[in-house]
Structure 1
Amino acid sequence: MYDSDFLNRLETGLRGALPRWGLSDATDLKLLTISENATFRAHDPADGRDVIFRVHRPGYHTKDEIASELAWLKALGADGVVETLTAIPQAGGELIADIDDDGVVRHVVAFGLLPGKEPQEGEDLVHWFRELGAINARLHAHAKDWRKPEGFARKVWDYDAMLGETLLWGDWREGLGLTSEGRDVLERTSTLLKRLLEDYGKDEDRFGLVHADMRVANLLVDGSHLSVIDFDDCGFSWYLYDFAAAISFIEHEPYIPDLLAAWIEGYRTVAALSEDDCAIIPVFIMLRRMLLTAWIASHSETPTAEAMGTAYTQGTVELARAFLEKYAAAEEMAGK
């Protein structure tokens, strides 16, 4: 899918839409990332403007869902909750454009540029996760109080959507390199996750609108300032799922407990977080890890999936074994 012909088609379609944002024919386009969507950076030497374009994958988000994301972004900016990208309207005021990709319609949104760079593993991730915890708490508080506009629509990230009957990112059973033994381990883990999540419930103080993908690649550090980008996966889920999403693809690293402690500390500077809430976070980490295992299998042609390969699936199985042992021991101690 992501061969040169495909990328050339995307760039050609996007280039044809540039005048809608007042960009000249001399504008330089550079592909930044490609995953669910393709992200380009445009620089127009005619006026020095820099614009980020997100070309959406067809058949994933509807126009209403994209418009709902942009409505939340606008509200977050207006209410001073977090600094993030601002959508740039076209000349006619519309925020979403359509381009043709060999007969397939793709939605396009333009954003302004934010300064900063992605924090690296060698940097003080503990410090930034403390900041991220406070940002998450502000986002959650805003989501609970914000009156959503009529027609607001975003996907629901619950057990059924991730591991159950209405899968959004594919089936973990198709995990790259998954053995029959590993499949059995993950099946038992999925069953346990379902029960634990049902026990935790979806009360309004626990389940609502979240970013759902606040991983390191979607953070920007500029001096002492932390910004958050890419709300493309925002939707309705458990609030504490946001931490699990924040450690996407690094769930197995030995420093994760330090990141979690810092995140909780930062969160509590803004809002209360009970011990029961903290105790459920490992459940969301395991849930997210299995979801990403499914995503890698269903998006195996993407650079991210190629980099993870079968090793990520094997790591998921090992994490699942430890997860099962932990909860079996806890239930034995509780006399269940």
Structure 2
Amino acid sequence: MCKSNSPVNLPVISTINNDGNNIDSNTVLLLYEDMLLGRYFEDMCAQMYYRGKMFGFVHLYNGQEAVSSGVIKLLNSGDYVCSTYRDHVHALSKGVHPKHLMAELFGKETGCSKGRGGSMHIFSAQHNFLGGFAFIGEGIPVAVGAAFQSMYKQQVLNQGGSLNVTVCFFGDGTTNNGQFFECLNMSVLWKLPVIFVVENNQWAIGMAHHRSTSLPEIHKKAQVFGLPGIEVDGMDVLAVRSVATSAIDRARSGHGPTLIEALTYRFRGHSLADPDELRSRQEKNAWLARDPIKRMKKYITDHGLISLQSLEVLESQTKNVINDAVNFALSSPEPSLHDLKRYLFVED
């Protein structure tokens, strides 16, 4: 995420979140701003897609912002994140600048992957963002590998410092795949510093979650392998942050992995090519009423942390960041034909 453009210097006000933990106003503002950035970015992606500026499949994250912000904004710069094909907002939360992300989606040379990755393959070595993956489950072994190298550096190579944590995001449909079970087993066996975050948005493309698995409560699958399995309201960023704090502390201290099931919902279709006709209007409206950004705004105003005027200024500034990202992407050069085969192999 780009540097905060917060309109005021806030006094550090301590309040109590839903789990009874203290949280200061600066942290609340950071979370709200990050969720706004993600929502506005994805809304702009929809506009640009329908204007023919993006191609292929584009999967948006609207509605799930509390999961990304609640987990990733707790991580250090040296920690790792593995994503899915719904990866834009994860990258923003990890620190990838919106203009470099937008340029990547436009296929431009200034993109974070030089325009070679596109929507489903966002990658940034600078930010330890290990990529989006087009096929479900692909990122889980990569995340386990990243967690293993962190432990190997400390225990075998005797490199000092605390363990770097790896967070792996994936959807409910992925938890019926073999990689999920194999990697949970390995991560517990070696006590790897990895956190598995299931973004259970209730639908695997067009298949309702409860129709596709014999055990709809995904967090209970952790019991088989002996790691903590926790269910959390994925529409409440403070609840997600509270659960993630404990999981990150556990991983960094060498006590092993945690499985977090965040119950959330995607407000748009599976992709921008999906007419979204399978979900009932009643179901959509029930989840829209729990919009994580509106809930956070209500929390802020109810506790008197930030004035409505200041929030409106922040919202306007965040929209300007997204508009600047679009202008940057539009004005950026296309990759050169001379570089068509570049980046396929390791260069000297």
* TM-score between both structures, scaled by the size of structure 1: 0.26
* TM-score between both structures, scaled by the size of structure 2: 0.25
Greater relative contact order (Cα < 8 A, sep 6+): 2
